Structure 1
Amino acid sequence: MHIGQIFKFLLALIIATLVMLAIRTFIFTIYTVPNQDWRPDFEAGDRVIVNRISNAPILKGDIIAFTDTVDATTNIGRVLYLPGDTIKYGKELYRIPLICCRRCGCKDCKLYLVRIGKQRVLVHKHQIIGKAKKIYHLKF
């Protein structure tokens, strides 16, 4: 009977681990901000949780996680401008395109201007992993 209880415990532990990994991979992912380059939005050691399954529209001020196309790293930033918004830079006006290219024709082919620390980058909608929320800060 003792071996049966150990087997049941190990089976429950394995199932719980698999469920936790599935949730962390496909539904919610936690990222740690690595350094001070993300200021003023984040400090080094901040933790954010990313909702991968939300269908809510992306709005100005939302914090999003997205994949960098150059080196496949995950970045976290705040949405400054949405598709169709006009930006004033000096005396010039620029418009964030409603679609990223005419060839694609995809409804999801949109660009967002996102702030990562002091940098501003254009992010395609297909690069976005999900909306992020700051959950806590660890001071190391």
Structure 2
Amino acid sequence: MTQLIFINLPVADLNRSIAFYEAVGATKNPMFSDDTAACMVLSDVIHVMLLTHDKWRTFTDRAIPDAHASAQMLLCLSRDSRDAVDAVVAQAGAAGGTADPNKPQDYGFMYGRSYADPDGHIWETMWMDPAAVAAGPEAFAAHELTPV
């Protein structure tokens, strides 16, 4: 069986979060969703479990951090083109998220931007030139990896 990833995120307003994730291209899997959680499918192997705070607390006793004020992790998804990176950031902003909470990065062969969902969880989205990837580490060594 192919290994899957389920990213669990605490959310303050489940319906608002479902609408946001649908706006950036996810689809809701009703088989694993109810009034306390929603399984949002990003790809065949990537799923985001949106959990109400009460549901979240059934998994851990740790406090739910305010993702608007702190960051515990950054999640990054690849896109097929620079235009696709820009499009998903625009969709996120239009759907109630925050476009570019982090500085955009443009290294020529690699391009990245980010958005935050309504709860402040940051998603990076990036594109890498397939020719640079195929060329291997030597292609990257020539570039200073400092945001432009």
Return the structure number with greater strand share: 1
Q: Hey, which of these two has a bigger chunk of helix by percent? A: 2
Alignment TM-score, normalising by the size of structure 2:
0.28
Specify which structure has the bigger relative contact order, considering alpha-carbon pairs within 8 angstroms and separated by 6 or more residues. 1
Q: TM-score, normalised by structure 1?
A: 0.29
